[in-house]
Structure 1
Amino acid sequence: MTPQLAAGVGLWRRGDAGLEVLLVERTKHRDVSLPKGKLDPGESLPQCAVRELEEETGYRVTLQAPLGTSEYLLPTGQDKVVYYWQSELRDGDPDHVFEANDEILALHWVPLEDAASRCTYDHDAVLVRRLAERIAAGEADTFAIVAMRHAKAADPYAWEGDDASRTLTARGERQAREVAPSIAAFGVERILVSTAVRCRETVAPLARLLGVAPRTSRALAQDTYLDRGDRLLRHVAKAVHHRRSTVLCSHLPVIPAIVDAVAAATDSPDSPALHRGSMLHTADFTVLHVGGPDVRVLAVETHGAPI
């Protein structure tokens, strides 16, 4: 039996009384847990996490580093897997009004040191303790550098123009639309893109969704990136210096160079996770979460267009 997938958020804030974690009390079960919800058809896990948090609590946030997963058996015998991300509520409305409903009875902002013991289930308590450890280590506030491969493009062997003029196929256009909300969930503020038409078409739905004008760069172009490695590194170093979540959309051969540039700009050691994050299918993207006292890559995750 296929597992039921869900997503949620470990949301925390710096309140008047200190650090607090948000827990929800469900109306039907009267249990207390981290906010989460089931994946809708055609939805990605990051998109689900943001949507479910807003629907359950009224808070809309930017996802930061992945917090972990919980797995358990449903009464039906089906496995359930819940993916969580951490997020700091920075601009929460102090007069935020929540109304109890059929799903959520109450919201509880609980002191960080008490939150694990308030959770009904051990798997939530484990995640809350992990969040507390990251906050104590200064690793809970992260930003994202996203390496993205363009969506499915026209066959290069059948294309009559030059390679850079190749456009997206109908499938590629669909991929570009479907993947945009997933990337937006990580709070992207800047879009850098190869000069190739297929890359510019790939980021167009994301640009419209975010209201951000993409900036083209030949440092991301397949035919010129090898001569512009210094420029690519400067792009990434600038994003790291300003802590600006940035997506860089390019071609398969360029993706490892983007990942290497993020590792170099953050003095992050080579790792299998970075290598895996360099191997992308069309419309896939890898999120490199940067943060911590030494500003390095703390987590790597890869996603694609929802199935």
Structure 2
Amino acid sequence: MPAAGTLPWRVHDGVLEVALVHRPRYDDWSWPKGKLDPGEEWAPAAARETFEETGLKVRLGRPLPDARYLMLTKTGDRGEKVVRYWASTVTGGHGRLENEIDAIEWLDVAVAHDRLDYARDRDQLRALVRAHGEGTLDTWPLVVVRHAKALPRGDWKKDDQQRPLEARGRERAEALIPVLTAYQISRILTSPSLRCLDTISPYAVWSGIAPRAKRGLSEEGHEAAPDRAGEHVERALERGEAVAICTHGPVMGAVLDALSPRLELVGEGSVEMLERFVEARDENLAKGEALVCHVAGTGDEARIVAVERHLPT
């Protein structure tokens, strides 16, 4: 039984605070969360449920530990419920309580620890506090996207840069809208090839963000100037803005090579992060995949502190 939620956090007067919600049906205090809709991905569900319960729009930050516990299903059987959590920052919203929530409170972490009704909810709080102490809680997303499935090269007799997505690729491009929205991507860099533009355009149209076409992210441009893709990544790291970079499998090595020295391989979860990153690199990402790198700091100080893979279904 999959569900997703967030731990909204802020620093108020120098004190780290988190937002808890109260559910009158259960008379408990917990994190905003809820079940995935049919076909929905985890990250969009976390952002959606937070908004639906609190009226707050949030940008997902680094992932936090899952919660797993047994509960009764509608049929009376016992099943495992899995809830995935993310740290999140509030970026807007009306703040009106909805969807079976009658109270939301911002509390410092000590009070929140005692207020939580379930011991399992303290695992996420401890991870959030630890990240804050390490300086890796305040992050921004750099998302690498491989273009979705295009028509086979052998079936296309015209200029390869004009080769479009096939039907499954167009479906995946639409499915990327809620994924990129959950991280509130505000800048888009893309190869000028049509299959990349077609992959990122649905989100660009939905968000009103004009994609910036970069020849260095195309296969042809990369072949002519192999260093340009890495230069685009470095400039994105200097800028520190939530960004999506859409490119091709043959260019992916250069993009990920520019990111790999920024991996912070210390602390809990670093081994899993490295394994996830290396697996994605070795596969050149799956077509239509979004690799989310959570970056703390900018420029020379930029460090990737968490990595997520959002694969097409």
Q: TM-score, normalised by structure 2?
A: 0.89
Aligned-residue CA RMSD (Å)? 2.1
Amino acid at match of 2:82: V
Partner amino acid, structure 2, of 1:277: A
Correspondence for 1:276:
279
Q: Check conservation: 2:65, 2:123, Cα contact below 8 A.
A: no
User: What's the secondary structure of 1:282's corresponding residue?
Assistant: coil
Once the 2 structures are TM-superposed, how far is the Cα of residue 117 of structure 1 from its aligned partner?
2.0
Q: Find the counterpart in structure 1 of residue 296 from structure 2.
A: 291
- Residue 96 (structure 2) aligns with: 98
Q: Distance in 2 between matches of 1:268 and 1:67?
A: 16
Residues 23, 107 of structure 1: 8 Å contact kept: yes
Distance across 1 between alignment mates of 2:236 and 2:184: 13
SS of 2:135's equivalent in the other structure is coil
Tell me, in whole angstroms, the C-alpha distance in 2 between the residues paired with 1:197 and 1:97.
40
Pairwise CA distance, 1:16: 4.4
Q: Deviations over 1:24-74 (max 9, x none)?
A: 111211111111110001211111011000000010011111112111111
Name 2:6's counterpart in structure 1: 9
* Aligned residues with identical type, % of pairs: 38
Match for residue 192 of structure 2?
195
Q: Which has the higher helix share?
A: 2
Summarize deviations over 1:90-140 as a string: whole Å, max 9, x none: x568xx6534x5611211211122212211111111111111111122111
**2:196 and 2:118 mapped to 1: Cα distance?**
45
Gaps of 5+ in 2: 266-272
The structure 2 residue matched to 1:43, chosen from 34, 40, 44, is: 40
Alpha-carbon distance change, 228 to 272 in structure 1, aligned in 2, over 3 angstroms: farther
Query: Normalising to structure 1: TM-score of the pair?
Result: 0.90
**Correspondent of 2:152 among 150, 155, 158:** 155
Secondary structure at the counterpart of residue 257 of structure 2: helix
Distance in 2, matches of 1:109 and 1:267, equals 32
Matches within 5 A, 1:128-207: 128-207=125-204
AA aligned to 2:172 is Q
Question: Residue 301 of structure 1 is aligned with which of 293, 305, 308?
Answer: 308
Mark the CA change 1:14 to 1:160 in structure 2 (over 3 Å): closer, same or farther.
same
Instruction: Tell whether 2:18 aligns with 1:27.
Output: no
1:74 aligns to what SS in structure 2? strand
Cα separation, 2, equivalents of 1:247 and 1:102: 32
For residues 80-119 of structure 1, the aligned pairs below 5 Å read 80-89=81-90, 91=91, 97-99=95-97, 103-119=100-116
For residue 292 of structure 1, report the CA deviation from its aligned partner: 5.6
Q: CA separation in 2, counterparts of 1:267 and 1:134?
A: 15
- For 1:81, give the aligned amino acid: V
Q: Structure 1 residues 17, 234: closer, same or farther in 2, change over 3 A?
A: closer
C-alpha distance in structure 2 between counterparts of 1:102 and 1:47, whole Å: 17
Contact 2:217 2:228 in 1 (8 A): no
